[in-house]
Amino acid sequence: MKEVKNVNVIGLTITGKTEDDRVVRSDNDSNINEENKMDTKKLEPIAFIFQLFSGILLAVFVASHIYITHLNEEALKYESVVERLSNSTIKVIYFLFLVIVCFHAFNGLRAILLDTNFGKRNARMVNLLCLIISIVSILYGATLLISF
Amino acid sequence: MLVDWFRIKGRSLHSLAFSFHRLTGIVLMIYLILHLTYLTSLRFGKESYEYLISLTVRPETLPFDLLLLLATVFHGVNGIRLVIHELGFVYEKRNLILYLTFGIVLIVWLYAGYLMFLLIMG
């Protein structure tokens, strides 16, 4: 297999070793609105790095979450869930978990949408929409957390 | 372009892993929204929460739980593989790492699935 040195990852051209045989996404698509393209590229390196590191954190968070909630039958009981959510330390951990998972999920969605022709033509709208969904999800989850 | 994700013929395992990573990501994102919505039942008290638990944690839903677990394990383990490569490590051994990833996914999934089976089936 040949080594790909320059590939486009979530709209960002990465120079270096990376996945082989990825679905190729072209920066030269004639339909791309150049203004939108430039607009989306400004924060892409930061979003990409955050996506990587939030992914690592989530692997730990999600594994722990599944383990704790499936440890025994009691773990899913109403009283146990409320007891966990009433603990301030756990509440803070869950809030961090919520922020990280929402960022990772909706930044991932954004990356996928920006890879489509629709996303390339409407990059600004896609970015805004994913940001709004992300903020709404965080606020919604946070109100749930503070209600205990 | 999205249709390409489902095309298997003529594609390498790396390319398929890339497509599955995205597909499982979409599945997990939808589940995240459902999970947050589902947890709202906690605010309505014990009865509504336990009613939802009785609907979703039962032998009939176990196959879906196992599929969701597979998507989670694959996305997590494959994601760690991608991070390792993106940071420039062991790229020259990417085929071996990919096979290792599939092996780890299978082992973790079977073990976690077994625990889930015990929990639901008692």
Question: Do the Cβ atoms of A148 and B49 come within 8 Å?
Answer: no
Residue of A17, A74, A147 to mutate, testing the B interface (most B Cβ within 10 Å of its Cβ): A17
Per-residue pLDDT for A11 more than 50? no
Average pLDDT over residues B47-63: 92
Per-residue pLDDT for B28 more than 90? yes
Closest-CA residue of chain B to A21? B15
Domain limits of chain A?
1-30, 33-146
DSSP assignment of A26-93: -TT-TTS-HHHHHHHHSSHHHHHHHHHHHHHHHHHHHHHHHHHHTSSGGGGSHHHHHHHHHSHHHHHH
**Comparing A9-18, A46-55, A117-126, B15-24, which segment has the lowest mean pLDDT?**
A9-18
Does B97 contact A at CB distance below 8 Å? no
Cα A21 to the center of its chain, rounded Å: 23
Average pLDDT over residues B6-22: 88
Q: Give residue for tokens 């919520």.
A: A98
Both structure tokens of B92: 């020259």
Both structure tokens of B74: 């694959």
Question: Do the Cβ atoms of A3 and B91 come within 8 Å?
Answer: yes
- Whole-model pTM: value is 0.83
CATH 1.10.3720.10 for the A33-146 domain, yes or no = no
